[in-house]
Structure 1
Amino acid sequence: MNEQNRDRALLNRINAYSLEDEAYWSFRGRSKRQHCHGLLQYPAMMIPEMQGELIDAVLAEDRNVRRVLDPFVGSGTTLGEAMCRGLDFLGIDINPLAILACEVKSGPLYTAKLQEKADLVLDAAKKDSSAEIAVHFDGIDKWFTKSTQVELSAIYRAIKNEPSKWARKVFWLSLSSTVRTVCNSRSSTYKLHIKTEEKIKQTPSAIEEFEKKLNKNIENIVAQKEILDKNQVLKRATSVSDVVIKNADSAGKIRSSLKCDLLVSSPPYGDNQTTVTYGQFSYLPLMWIDLSDIENMTQAGLLAHKSAIDSMSLGGSKKGSNTKYQEIKERSRSLVSCVEKIKAVNPENIKKLISFIYDLDNAICNSLSFLRENAYMVWTLGNRRISDIEVPLDSIMRELLESRGCHFVHKLERDIPSKRMANRNQIAATMVKESILIMRK
């Protein structure tokens, strides 16, 4: 089958899903974050079932798919779906919390032993009577009450005393969710904003929260193991998938000799003045994690301050925006049009957009270098707003890819019924639609 015929076959297969239901791809009422997808609540997560069905559609038309790439791996939605199908995987992310989540998802899945170790960790934390605070960082007294610091320290020491790194990773991930619950920052936003005194007084017990989250995560890991076993992609409590996770800036230089056969990803895009603040979301949890247990942690300076990860991520630096624009403007007419509209309202805000798209283009270039010829790409995109002007990321992305010789296959539009985004947004209307852009290298 030649590539054009394969494109048409893939297009027909994807369209067949929505022939009887125009809202099929919204997955309203059909999306559940089960098994490994329930291990961490992370900003702007993709819908597992949707990514899984899109992967299946590509697999049906391209039998040579062995390794999947996600250059913005986040909490590992694509990773989980790839593992369920026994596919190898390469994931890239700058955020250490994302790397930890992916390392936990990729196993091993020693469920019986994990339960034993969890019982010991919980028992040790509950019996720890020390008032010593285990970690120290600027702002600890602002973001945590003294009693919460004491309880988190007891959990921290109990985890540190666990001899097996694979188990400690599960415990650290459970602790990261606990920290988000018991810190003094509001949960209605991913940025760090202090709660009211009344809300702080209602902070639950860190040890009780940790116990609930750990037990739930063990249930999810047991369910993950059962699914992999049912799909015959489990070998001695380990997925048959070869999983490689890299802690790197997707727009920077990344060394890898791996070639991938399919890209499934969603770059950060936010629904605010800037992209979602994954770094601020992760900062406090990472303060309570022994980072030496994250095997693929290689980037320096990520936790220098609460916004360090975000400033090192796509569009994090606005320096040299004029030079960047001259480099990139010939590759996207939609970008030029959008820049002109924003410039008329607030010239300063075009720097954010230009820097973001410039970095995104570099990330695209890197991603293409990891893909074999004629590999499909499935990009889930949202059109955020800057100065209350919609940024047509779907059109910009298509033009950037086409400028590098890629072929357009199809674009789906879907309503977002429940994507986990910051929901109190006074700056712009909350994003309610996404596009799925399917391209071929």
Structure 2
Amino acid sequence: MNRTDRDTTIINKIKAYSLSDDSYWSFKGRSDRQHCHALIQYPAMMVPQMQGELIDVIRSEDRDIKTVFDPFVGSGTTLGESMMRGLDFVGHDINPLAILACEVKSGPLFTKKLEEKATNLLFHIENNTNDTVAVNFPGIDKWFIPNVQLELSAIYLAIKSEPSKWARKIFWLALSNTVRATCNSRSSTYKLHIKSEEQIDKVGSPKEIFKKNILKSIENIKIQKQLLAEKGYLSRTKGVSKIKIRNVDAKLRKPSKIKYDLLISSPPYGDNATTVTYGQFSYLPLQWIDISDINESIQPKLLELQNSIDNSSLGGSLKEINEKYRALENKSPSLNKCVAEINSVNPDNTRKLISFTYDLNLAITNSVQELRKDAYMIWTLGNRRISNIEVPLDLIMRELLESLDCKFVYQLERDIPNKRMPNRNKIATTMGKETVLIMRR
């Protein structure tokens, strides 16, 4: 195992948290989302407090950590916790909505000016007399009733007229939450699934909901700014952390020449179609956002269809399955065993698993290459079930990393008290536990 003294000390510190409370790492009742963590509703978000405490444990023994890397940045939980510690941060994601969320969290934090701009924005929205719909995309009449389209258009046009890009991005993010709340898709699932007529009749006013969202966003940004100032990590109106967010495909990107000091991430637990449909969740909000306001260039193909992002994500392609499996066979005995078990029940269901694992292996290979020697990795993982057979992603992930000469350090299991996941779909069911896998390059 080649465990070092530093590894042992880190393990003992993590274990010490659980001495008086076996369920400590489940963070039941202690996982509220505040300041920048509350700026967006996003699927399957990590617990900020857990990531923060794990960062603190690792940093207490590795004092050379300056830059944190998250190859699946999502809503930016790791970003927020890194900023609160004055650490530089690099985050990658294939989802444009995730990129927007992280850019907003990064600042600037012009709170007084933001309040002024929000007051002006809300005035223009309330007094808008436009009677045409500002955007058009396939299915707009299916997903939005006429009066909702008009109210969202009023918000859209008001945001477009705001001269400052940094403010528009904050407003777009608040609009994304508003779109999800007022569309005709059920909130009980991340997939686009039409509500009943009775539910559609109860859809609220986008103008009223947006006003609440933007006022709440301002308060959260003010708290974020205050916390950064109290911790000594605020430089005028921005955190001291240097932040880079990129819209890239984790399995295809080219490694940078810069080496990062700590990786913290939670990759998808399976292909998006059968676990969390991040793309479908984001599709409708992205239709009401001016993508040109996102700093990072976005691939246009990702916005074409409601499945485009999911089909481009890990496991999205089922081509060349036999070749993909041959590339994995010698890397993970646990995958081989799981494939054999699922094959005995339903061979068709192994194709998604193999494709996802193949892409995951590409992604983590790229990620490991981004790290300096002896850099630690903290992977938050979940073991879903396929054909009622548990897929041991924690073991598969460990074996894939070990095939890249990474060293196992520690693993802890935690209950998921509040994490919103899909309850059930055709070939997979959700999990009630997560595993935190700590490895070292």
SS in 2 for 1:409: strand
SS at match of 1:345: coil
Judging changes above 3 Å, is the alpha-carbon distance between structure 1 residues 244 and 3 closer, same or farther for their aligned structure 2 residues?
Answer: farther
2:437 pairs with 1:437: yes
Name the counterpart of 2:225: 225
> Which residue number corresponds to residue 300 of structure 2?
300
Give, in angstroms, the shift of residue 372 of structure 1.
Answer: 0.3
The alpha-carbon deviation at position 348 of structure 1 amounts to 1.0
Q: CA deviation at 1:128?
A: 0.5
Partner SS state of residue 414, structure 2: strand
Deviation digits for residues 378-433 of structure 1 (CA, Å, limit 9, x no counterpart): 00000011111110000000000001100000000001111122346575543110
Deviations 1:317-355 (A, max 9, x none): 111111000011100000000000111111111110011
Letter aligned with residue 88 of structure 1: D
Deviation by residue 1:13-42 (Cα, 9 ceiling, x = unmatched) = 111100111100000011110000000010
What is the match of residue 201 of structure 2? 201
Letter aligned with residue 215 of structure 2? N
Task: Classify the secondary structure of the residue corresponding to 2:83.
Answer: helix
Matches within 5 A, 1:262-273: 262-269=262-269
Q: Is the 8 A contact 1:10 1:58 kept in 2?
A: yes
Question: Match for 1:118: what amino acid?
Answer: A
Distance in 2 (CA, whole Å) between partners of 1:87 and 1:30 is 23
Residue 238 (str. 1) matches residue 238 (str. 2):
yes
Determine the structure 1 residue equivalent to 2:387. Answer: 387
Partner of 2:189: 189
Question: Does the residue aligned with 2:295 lie in a helix, a strand or coil?
Answer: coil
Residue 247 of structure 2 aligns with an amino acid whose one-letter code is: N
The aligned counterpart of 1:129 is 129
Q: Give the structure 1 partner of residue 164 of structure 2.
A: 164
State the Cα distance separating 1:255 from its structure 2 match. Answer: 5.1
Distance 2:52 2:422 in 1: 25
Q: Contact 2:383/2:390 (CA < 8 Å) preserved in 1?
A: yes
**TM-score (normalizing by structure 1):** 0.98
Give the Cα–Cα distance (whole angstroms) in 2 for the partners of residues 432 and 236 of structure 1.
43
**Contact 2:272-2:278 at 8 Å conserved across structures:** no
Query: 2: distance between equivalents of 1:128 and 1:300?
Result: 30
CA distance in 1, matches of 2:325, 2:61: 38
Relative to structure 1, the CA distance from residue 273 to residue 246 in structure 2 (aligned partners, 3 Å threshold; closer, same or farther) is closer
The answer to whether structure 1 residue 410 and structure 2 residue 410 are counterparts is: yes
1:272/1:425 contact within 8 Å kept: no
The one-character-per-residue Cα deviations of 1:229-251 (angstroms, maximum 9, x if unpaired) are 11100001101000000100111
Residue number in structure 2 paired with 1:49: 49
Compute the displacement of 1:254 (Å).
3.0
Aligned to 1:40: 40
Number of positions where the alignment pairs a residue of Structure 1 with one of Structure 2: 440
How far has the Cα of 1:257 moved from its partner?
2.7
Q: Secondary structure at the match of 1:49?
A: helix
- The 2-side partners of 1:72 and 1:155 are apart by 30
Q: Which amino acid aligns with 2:106?
A: S
Counterpart CA distance in 1 for 2:427 and 2:347 is 17
In 2, are the aligned partners of 1:272 and 1:384 still within 8 Å (CA)?
Answer: no
Structure 1: distance between partners of 2:216 and 2:259? 36
| Separation (CA, whole Å) in 1 of partners of 2:382 and 2:323 | 26
1:275 Cα offset (Å): 2.7
Aligned to 1:80: 80
CA distance in 1, matches of 2:273, 2:245: 30
For 2:107, give the aligned amino acid.
Answer: G
SS in 2 for 1:374: strand
| SS across alignment from 1:331 | coil
The separation in 2 between residues aligned to 1:175 and 1:348, in whole angstroms, is 40
The answer to whether the Cα contact below 8 Å between 2:251 and 2:359 also exists between their aligned partners in 1 is yes
What SS class does the counterpart of residue 134 from structure 1 fall into?
coil
C-alpha distance 240-3 of structure 1, shift in aligned 2 (>3 A): farther
Residue equivalent to 1:101: 101
Between the aligned partners of 1:254 and 1:293, the Cα distance in structure 2 is: 25
The answer on whether the counterparts of 2:270 and 2:315 sit within 8 Å (CA) in structure 1 is no
What is the CA-CA distance between 1:92 and the residue it aligns to? 0.4
Deviates more, 1:58-67 or 1:246-255: 246-255
Q: Which ranges in structure 1 are unaligned for 5 or more consecutive residues? A: none
| Distance in 1 (alpha carbons) for counterparts of 2:273 and 2:232 | 45
C-alpha contact 2:384 2:391 (8 A) present in aligned 1? yes
Amino acid at match of 1:155: I
Q: Aligned runs of 1:253-292 on 2, under 5 Å?
A: 253-254=253-254, 256-269=256-269, 274-292=274-292
Partners of 1:237 and 1:344 lie apart in 2 by 59
Q: Secondary structure at the match of 2:6?
A: helix
| Structure 2: runs of 5 or more not aligned | none
For 1:381, give the aligned amino acid.
Answer: L
CA distance in 2, matches of 1:350, 1:410: 29
Q: Is residue 341 of structure 2 the alignment partner of residue 346 of structure 1?
A: no
Q: Tell me the SS of whatever aligns to 2:339.
A: helix
Task: Give the aligned partner of residue 140 of structure 1.
Answer: 140
Taking the TM superposition and a 5 Å limit, the aligned residue runs for 1:341-380 are: 341-380=341-380
Paired with 2:202 and 2:429, the residues of 1 have a C-alpha distance of 31
Letter in 2 for 1:231: K
Q: Does the alignment pair 1:397 with 2:397?
A: yes
How big is the shift at 1:270?
Answer: 5.5
Change (3 A) 1:13 1:316: same
User: 1:163 & 1:104 partners in 2: Cα distance?
Assistant: 16
The alignment partner of 1:195 has SS state of coil
